[in-house]
Structure 1
């Protein structure tokens, strides 16, 4: 890519159409997955990124299985997992901000090394029957050092398409890329819990976490080595302070909505494990959770194949409403088969919600804060996961596994109410013609044509 590329957009703000849609009377722009994956250089970062992000879904499950085995309580295990998730939610955006400023590789390399060491320490403490407070101390850096690979990959897609010039086609490629990334995220949620559970049950509970640390280290270093496709770091003007992505009200609203999505993930992980235990089928927990994530993956694939005419803001509210509806049946399921079916239906709403959110956040912040913005959303999911897992664990210990399934519907319901009440914040303020010269060097904003506009 070249930082000196000049991008001119003559589209007036009043004529700006929603992302991924077309002006009245025009056919929507559409880019298929095949064309996306033929983008020069794409596979050089996608392959190592997949390895590095696979453990994201293994960490919580691995901690849960290990600590439950060594300390005998779902409440304790879910709280330790929650500490890791909270640390990730708080520190992840800061690593994203550093990556925007100093580049991805200088931030990623020390991060994955710290992660491997922290997870190793947590395993040793758990196996040594160390006090619970010491597990918290080890879980915090383990979560804080989870590499923000998904956000970094999305930032690479944006940099790639922005270098081609602002156009409806580049906006369509971005939308398809975000759909592809959501599908990849969901695929890792299909494979990750199954892999962690399989290794933990067939080898040992500690082996699941050890595999997570090894994959993170190897994949993270391989991804960091692909510097050619990395976004140019943003050099700020002297005396000019770069505002945090969280300064945008729209980003804050999306983060709040993603807290609800995270509560669905966290509540389900703990509740599914406890439910499988209660019927004597502990090894089936990863499969049941994988079915839920598989439904999301299928929905994400279909979402990316459609040339949407409906504004992305509306699409997010609709998909979020369907998520609440799907979660409302989980607590009443009598067996693993029916729970799997209900989880599949619930999962169908996850990917459309996430894709819409990530697409919207790209339009709400400037180039120098995009990686940070993505990590705030990812961190919000982690924080919601921590809250949901802790609440579900406590409810399960006190009232049984079925009660834990009330956490996902409560979290998603609160998220939907917030999203609907403040939906006006999702409209970018004052879309304007963009003339960018050397934006990556001077810190000036660059925006793809066809950005979301309410």
Structure 2
């Protein structure tokens, strides 16, 4: 199983950008839960914590396609460096406003800048793999590896930030997220040899979101993001209701752990069925796997349930990125992948907001119904528009160009 993954790193420079990209995007699993833990501890309201977390996610979702387009036009380093410094300054401001009891509106303003200046580093890493490997069969393995790396982050990140926040200091988790994102992103930006070339002709190009398949995938990942955002917040409340709030990170780690295991398996296999069929099956398994958590009341059993619920996440995300890579013209690839991040970001915001409201009103266990409904919506959207996901590699018509 290790062989195909080892071969990826034979190209010069790959190890460097992979390690830097891994460190730089670690906060993607730490920022939301760190904010929820901090704000809920100080205000006693999961609704308020969810609203601020949602503000960060919405700002990121709005800005991600723009930053992706700028990267395609001006290069990764020229865009990432100023943005990550602004992001770091805004996160420090958010923590200071919280520490000194500043008016609530200052938290929301800081949250807007935190999210707006955040970058979709995972898209940048995948764009480098596409530049280095082209459309060879190894790109499937590379995308699988990156999805597994994401899940390692989601296994370790929530547990780490929860432990630091609950056992060391309320701000410790967010401080670690700040250091990781600045150091990792700067190191990633300085590695220019593997950076995809600048495409100045993008100014005259349309936007990938006008491609029907990209629009459909964005809607599907919007619904999936609502699952992720709601599960993150509701699980914290679920653990607190049972007197083990510190275990919430381990529960979320179990959710990501199932995805990590399936991602390793998925990347190792050589598939004969089309990407479109794999995507549809992944969505169906994702929805089915979530259903049992609504009936679980024990923390240990919930860890097992979340592990199995996460098994379909990586295969679905890997396939989604592979479809984007084949549907979108090369000079718009970073922006195309950023639309997935945007969709997930909006979904996470909706999920965090709805999860907080429903948890405060009906309790954590009942609030999981929203997560399951969001997963079912993803299935309905995906199946309903699956004909838009046909790609040249499956023997169908060429991918359309984006509208001007």
User: Shorter chain as normaliser: what TM range?
Assistant: over 0.9
- State TM-score, norm by structure 1: 0.85
Structure 2: any 5+ residue segments left out of the alignment? none
Equivalent pair of 2:20/2:187 in contact (CA under 8 Å): yes
The structure whose residues are more often helix, as a share, is 2
Larger Rg: 1
Q: CA deviation at 1:171?
A: 2.4
Deviations 1:390-419 (A, max 9, x none): 101101101111122112111111111011
Q: CA deviation at 1:31?
A: 7.7
**SS where residue 171 of structure 1 aligns?**
coil
Q: CA deviation at 1:233?
A: 0.6
CA distance, structure 2, for counterparts of residue 108 and residue 421 of structure 1: 37
CA distance, structure 2, for counterparts of residue 74 and residue 235 of structure 1: 45
Question: Hey, what does 1:309 align to over in structure 2?
Answer: 272
**2:352 maps to 1:401:** no
**2:335 maps to 1:363:** no
Q: CA deviation at 1:220?
A: 0.7
**2:98 maps to 1:133:** no
Question: Hey, what does 1:7 align to over in structure 2?
Answer: none
CA distance, structure 2, for counterparts of residue 181 and residue 102 of structure 1: 24
Q: CA deviation at 1:340?
A: 0.8
**2:132 maps to 1:160:** yes
CA distance, structure 2, for counterparts of residue 304 and residue 342 of structure 1: 24
CA distance, structure 2, for counterparts of residue 403 and residue 122 of structure 1: 31
CA distance, structure 1, for counterparts of residue 25 and residue 6 of structure 2: 22
**2:362 maps to 1:390:** no
CA distance, structure 1, for counterparts of residue 103 and residue 55 of structure 2: 15
CA distance, structure 2, for counterparts of residue 410 and residue 134 of structure 1: 34
Equivalent pair of 2:391/2:398 in contact (CA under 8 Å): no
**2:187 maps to 1:215:** no
Question: Hey, what does 2:196 align to over in structure 1?
Answer: 231
Question: Hey, what does 1:179 align to over in structure 2?
Answer: 144
Decide which of 258, 263, 275 is 1:295's aligned counterpart.
258
Q: CA deviation at 1:431?
A: 4.9
Equivalent pair of 1:155/1:371 in contact (CA under 8 Å): yes
Structure 1: any 5+ residue segments left out of the alignment? 1-29, 163-169, 434-443, 446-454
Q: How is 1:78-89 mapped onto 2 (pairs within 5 angstroms)?
A: 78-89=50-61
Equivalent pair of 1:182/1:300 in contact (CA under 8 Å): yes
Question: Hey, what does 1:110 align to over in structure 2?
Answer: 82
**SS where residue 310 of structure 1 aligns?**
coil
Return the structure number with greater relative CO, CA threshold 8 A, min gap 6: 1
Q: CA deviation at 1:37?
A: 2.5
Equivalent pair of 1:259/1:411 in contact (CA under 8 Å): no
Q: How is 1:312-391 mapped onto 2 (pairs within 5 angstroms)?
A: 312-391=275-354
Question: Hey, what does 1:267 align to over in structure 2?
Answer: 230
CA distance, structure 2, for counterparts of residue 148 and residue 204 of structure 1: 28
- State TM-score, norm by structure 2: 0.95
Runs of 4+ aligned residues of structure 1 deviating over 4 Å after TM superposition are: 429-433
**SS where residue 233 of structure 1 aligns?**
coil
Equivalent pair of 2:165/2:172 in contact (CA under 8 Å): yes
CA distance, structure 2, for counterparts of residue 183 and residue 343 of structure 1: 17
CA distance, structure 1, for counterparts of residue 289 and residue 17 of structure 2: 35
Deviations 1:288-335 (A, max 9, x none): 100110000000000000000010100011010011011111111011
Equivalent pair of 1:84/1:143 in contact (CA under 8 Å): yes
CA RMSD of aligned residues (A): 1.8
Q: CA deviation at 1:261?
A: 1.5
CA distance, structure 1, for counterparts of residue 255 and residue 350 of structure 2: 20
Question: Hey, what does 1:67 align to over in structure 2?
Answer: 39
CA distance, structure 2, for counterparts of residue 308 and residue 250 of structure 1: 21
**2:251 maps to 1:251:** no
Question: Hey, what does 2:168 align to over in structure 1?
Answer: 203
Question: Hey, what does 2:154 align to over in structure 1?
Answer: 189
CA distance, structure 1, for counterparts of residue 54 and residue 198 of structure 2: 33
408-417 or 98-107: bigger deviation? 408-417
**SS where residue 93 of structure 2 aligns?**
helix
Q: How many residues align?
A: 397
**SS where residue 137 of structure 2 aligns?**
helix
CA distance, structure 2, for counterparts of residue 274 and residue 128 of structure 1: 26
Equivalent pair of 1:70/1:127 in contact (CA under 8 Å): no
Question: Hey, what does 2:93 align to over in structure 1?
Answer: 121
| Compared CA separation, residues 188 and 34, structure 1 to 2 (3 A) | same
